[in-house]
Structure 1
Amino acid sequence: MSSSSSSSSSDEQGSGNGNGNRGGDYEGPSASRRRFVDGVWPEPFVESLAYQVAIDASNSSGRLAAGPALFNLFQVCSTWREVSRSELLWQNLTGQIWNRHRLPHPHTTWREEFIFRHRTARNFRSRRYHYSTLHFNDNINGDNEDENEGEETILSCRRLVLSDNHLAAGFSDGCVRLFSLPSRVHLSTFRPHHRDRLGRFSRAVSGIILSETRVVFASHDGDIHVAPVGSNVVATRRSVYGDVLNDGALVDFCGSNRKWVGLYAGVPGRAFHVWNGESEELIFVGGTLTDPEAVMGWHLLTDLTEFVGRVRVTNQELAIACTSLRVIVFDLGNLGFIISEEAPRRGVIVGSVDTNGESLAMVDNRGLGSVRLPETLQEVCRFMVRGVGGGGGGGGLVGCMNLGYVVMCGGGGIVRVWSVDNGGGGDGEYLYGMRERIGGGGGGLGFGNAITADERHVAAWSGDLTIHLWDFGAR
C-alpha cells in the first residue's frame, strides 16, 4: 500500500456493518477543521465520507480493499488529500478494520500503524515472510533441575500463545517458556509449584493467557499459576489449587485480563469454571458439554492423547467451546446462559477450532471447514482441507486463524493458508502452503502439537524440539 493509502472515519451516526462483525461508531471528525467555503466541501464531511468509503470497501471486498479505496478518494483534490493527515481518522479506521486500539510504540502514528497492518496482511496473502526457528536453553533460570523423578522425559509443546512482543510456549513438563519476538531469544521459563501428581502428565500445560505484563497458565491437574512478564525475577505464584477428583481434568484454558475460562472433563455437570481475572475469584461452575468425554479427560493425566475439547473467548466476551460432538456459545456476562449450540452431523476436529475474536473457524471430520459468526453459528465462509476424512481423527489436524486467514497443519507437516476475508461471504480461497515443512522424523504431525497465529506471526511446534516462526511483518 502506498504511504498515502489509508483509511477513513465514519459519520457521527456510525457505519454500516456488512457481515455483522465489522464497523462501529465513528468518534467524530478531528477538531479545528476549516468550515464550508463557497464551492469547497467542509473537511469534517470529507473525513466522514472517507471513513464510510473504507468501511464499505472492507465489508464488501475484505479488509485489504480499504486502502486502495482511500487512495482513490484522496486523489480527488488537495483539500481531500489533506484529510489523510487526520490522526483521528486513522485511529478510528485502525480500530474498526484491524482491531487495533493502542499503538505498539510511543513514536508511532495511527497512520503508520494502519499502513503497517495493511502491508502485513498483504504479505500474508502473497506468502512474503521471514522464517526462523526458536530454541530454548534448559539452563536458564535453573531449568536443568530434574523433576521427573527418574521417569523418561517426553517433552511436547501443548500450547502456543502470541502477544505483540512475546511468544509463550507451554509444555508437557508443566513449564511455560517465554521468547522475545523481536530478538527470537528465550527470555525465561516459568515453572509450576511442586505437588503430588495424579498421573504422568497431570502437570502438562493446558492453556495460557498472555499479555505484555503477565502470563497466566493452567495444567491438567487444575492448578493455575501467574507470573509477571518483563521482570528480572521469575516469580511464579499459584493462584488456583486444582481439585482433580471433584472437577476432573482441566483440558483447555483461555481468557483475558477480565475473565479466565477453564474447560474440564471427567466429572458430570462441571464442564466450565469461570474466574474473575482481576480478583482471581471463582465465579461460576457448571455445564454438561464434556460429560460424554469423561474417560478421555481422565486419560489426559497419563497419556499424550488427542484434543478432548477447546474453549475460546471472543472480543464480545462470548465463550465458544466444543468437543468432537457439539459446539456451544455462552455469554460470560450472563453465566450459564447458552446463546447458540450445534451438533455437527459429521463431527468436529477439535484441534482445528479457533477464533480471531470476531469469527469462529472449524473443520469437520470430512475436511469441510467453515467460518462462523459466534453469536448464531451462522456460516459466512467455507473452505476445504484436503487429505482429511474417515475415522474421525482428522489425522492430527491442528489449526488457527487471524482476522483474514485460516492456517491449518496436518499430516506431512505442511502448513497451509486460506483467505477467508472476502467481505460478503462465499467460499474461502486456498492461497499456498508454507515453503518449510515441519515435523520430526518422517515429517508427520502428531497429537499434542500446537499452532497459533496473529496478524503478524504464525508459530508452530511439531515434535522436533523446535518452534517454527513465520514473520509476515518483517521489512
Structure 2
Amino acid sequence: MSTSSSSSSHDGDTDAGNFQGPSNSRRRFNTAVWPEPFLEALATQIAIDAARSFGRLAAAPALSNLFQVCRTWRRVSQSDLLWQTLTRRIWHRHHLLHPSWHDEYIYRHRTAENMRSRRNNYTTLNFPPNDNNNNHEPLSCRRIALSDYHIAAGFSDGSVRLFHLPSRQHASTFHPHQRNHFGPFSRAVSGIFFTDTRLVFSSLDGDIHVASVHVPGALRRAHLGDVVTDGVLVDFTGTNRWWIGLYAGVPNRAFHVRNSNTEELVFIGGTLTDPDAVFGWHLLIDLSEHVGRIRITNDDLAVGFTRGRVIAFNLRNQMILGEEEFTRPINVGTADAYDKALMFVSSRGVANVRQVDSLEEICRFIARNSLLGCINGGYSFISTGGGVRVWELDRGESLYILRERIWDATAMIADERYVAASTNDNTIHLWDFGAHL
C-alpha cells in the first residue's frame, strides 16, 4: 500500500459551527413568548428550504442567521433533537459516528465542503494475489462497496477482498463455494453491498453469499443460482430491508426482490432487460459490456437502467413510479442513483440528472468520453479519459478534476465521504474527503 497526500488541512470553522450571538447594535425582538418547539420547527423548515433551493451547504448559513436574532432563538441551537432531525433530513444520516447530533451535522457539512473544494487525502490499496487461482488468470475488480469502516472489492474470479478503512489494511478475503461453471466468468462478482454487520455479494450465475465483516473468511451461500431458469444476474444490491437482483436472459424475470431478513423471494417479474437477453448471456464469456444497473434509494424506491430504458418503482408494492425509453442509448456504466436523484450519460456525452420518484429533470451537463460514473447526495463523479471529473449535482456546475490520474477504470463508487475506483493494474484508488483532514 502506498499513500500520498493531496490535501491541505482544514483552516477554519464554517457556518455549520459558527453560531455566535448578535452584536450589541442589532435590533432585538421580543421573542420570549415564542415556544421553543415552534422555533425548532421554524429552524427545521428554514434549513430544509435552503437546502432544497440552494444545495445542502446553504442550510448552515441560513441557520446561523436565524440563531443570531436574539438569545431565545440562539438557545434553540442547543437542541440535539433539532440537529438529529436536520442530520437525517439533509444528510440522510440515521446513526451517530460522533458524540452528538450537532457534531454529526457539522462533520457532514464540512466533509461536503471538502468535497466541493477538492480537499482530500488520496490512498491506493493494492489487493493481495489470488492463491486459489490455479489458472493464474489476471484478476479484474468488478464491483466496489463502502461502509463507515470498510471497503469491499469483488473480482472476476468470484472472490471478495475486505479492507479496513481507518488503517487502509487488508482484513479478509472471501472465496465463494465452487460448482459447475457456465462460462469462464460465471463466478464473477456482479453485485456487492454492506448491511449493519454483513457483507452480501452475488455472482453472474445467480449465487448469493453472505459474509460477516467481523469474522475473517466466514461465508455461507444464501441462494443457489439457476442460470437456465432465471438468466444471468447482471447486477445486485440491497439494504437492511431489501435485496434486489437484475437479471437478463429469460423473458419476464428481470427483477428478483428478496426480504433481507428472511432472504425469501417476495417478487419475480419485469421486462426491463428482455431486449438485452443476448448481452446478458454474453457476460459469461466477456465482461466488457455493461448490461444493466439496479439501485435502491431512500423510501423503498428502486431504479433500474439498461441502454434503452430507465424504470423507477416502489419495492413494497412493485408499483411503477416512472419509466422512460431513451431516444439514444446510454452508457450503463455511468448510470447511478442515490437518495432522491439518478444520473445517466447518453451516447452523445450528455449527462442527465433526474428525480427518482418522477423522473423529472433536475439538470444536465456535458460529460464527453465518459467511461464510468457514480453520484452521492451532492456530487457526480465521472471517469473520463484517465481522470475523474466532478460536477455539482443540483445545477450541473463543473467543479474540478481529481489530481490523481487513473487509467482503465473497472468500477467506481462514492458515498458522502469517500470516492473509490478500481483499475486493471490491481489497484484501488481511494479519495477521503473526511472533515478531520
SS in structure 1 opposite 2:37? Answer: helix
2:354 aligns with 372
- 1:345 aligned to 2:306? no
- 1:217 aligned to 2:201? yes
- 1:125 aligned to 2:100? no
Question: Against the structure 1 CA distance between its residues 38 and 366, is the aligned structure 2 distance closer, same or farther, given a 3 Å change threshold?
Answer: closer
1:406 maps to amino acid: S
1:470 aligns with 431
1:400 aligns with 374
1:279 maps to amino acid: T
1:145 aligns with 132
1:418 aligns with 391
- What's the % identity of the aligned pairs? 58
Contact 1:311–1:321 (Cα < 8 Å) also in 2: yes
Aligned mates of 1:418, 1:384 — CA distance in 2: 10
- 1:437 aligned to 2:405? yes
Aligned mates of 2:18, 2:284 — CA distance in 1: 53
Deviations 1:192-230 (A, max 9, x none): 001111111100000012124001100001000001111
1:16 aligns with none
1:424 aligns with none
Deviations 1:105-148 (A, max 9, x none): 5xx1100000000000111111111111112234xxxx5233x4
* Structure 1 residues not aligned, in runs of 5+: 7-36, 389-393, 422-426, 440-444
Question: Against the structure 1 CA distance between its residues 221 and 42, is the aligned structure 2 distance closer, same or farther, given a 3 Å change threshold?
Answer: same
What is the deviation of 1:360?
Answer: 0.8
- 1:259 aligned to 2:252? no
Match of 1:243 among 217, 223, 226: 226
Mapping of residues 53-202 of structure 1, within 5 Å = 53-105=46-98, 108-138=99-129, 144-146=131-133, 148=134, 151-202=135-186
Aligned mates of 1:115, 1:38 — CA distance in 2: 27
What is the deviation of 1:330?
Answer: 2.0
User: Please, what TM-score do these two structures have when normalized by structure 1?
Assistant: 0.84
What is the deviation of 1:5?
Answer: 3.9
Match of 1:229 among 202, 208, 213: 213
1:293 maps to amino acid: D
SS in structure 2 opposite 1:50? Answer: helix
What is the deviation of 1:181?
Answer: 1.1
Q: Bigger CA drift: 220-229 or 377-386?
A: 377-386
Mapping of residues 228-307 of structure 1, within 5 Å = 228-231=212-215, 233-307=216-290
What is the deviation of 1:344?
Answer: 1.3
What is the deviation of 1:4?
Answer: 3.3
Deviations 1:389-442 (A, max 9, x none): xxxxx5xx11100110011003x2110100023xxxxx4100000000012xxx
Mapping of residues 351-366 of structure 1, within 5 Å = 351-366=333-348
What is the deviation of 1:339?
Answer: 2.3
1:314 aligns with 297
* Structure 2 residues not aligned, in runs of 5+: 1-13, 20-29
Aligned mates of 1:132, 1:172 — CA distance in 2: 23
Aligned mates of 2:299, 2:234 — CA distance in 1: 23
**Matched residues, number:** 414
Question: Superposition RMSD on alpha carbons, in Å?
Answer: 1.8
Aligned mates of 2:69, 2:389 — CA distance in 1: 41
SS in structure 2 opposite 1:353? Answer: strand
